Amino acid sequence: MTKFEITLPDSVASEIDDVARITGLSRQELVSTAVERFLKDRARWHEDMKAATADADRDIGADGEDVLEWMDSWGTAQERERPLLDGDLR
């Protein structure tokens, strides 16, 4: 493990303390989990954007309403698969 020191606004530190107390996690566990999740979500977002850009470059698209519903489902228990694109065979 690597020790990493950051400076946060007092209000954010207070919120961390509150949530840690409520969840029974230590500050370190809470912040570590939050950072890991943020990085995982951000990496996924970048991969999705690369795929979308590649599709646009190939002039492949999906119905806009399907895409918006898919995006609205991100991070929910009912998260949908990416909509089929024109020409998809899955």
Do 85 and 61 contact (CB within 8 A), yes or no?
yes
- Percent pLDDT > 90 in the chain is 68
Question: Whole-angstrom Cα distance, residue 67 to residue 84?
Answer: 9
Task: Tell me which residue of 70, 1, 62 sits closest to 29, measured CA to CA.
Answer: 1
3-class secondary structure, 88 = coil
In the structure, what pLDDT confidence band is assigned to residue 63 with cuts at 50, 70 and 90? confident
Give the model's pLDDT for residue 55.
Answer: 79
Ranges of each domain in the chain? 10-73
- Percent pLDDT > 70 in the chain is 94
Count of all residues that appear for the chain in the document: 90
For residue 85, pLDDT over 80 is answered with no
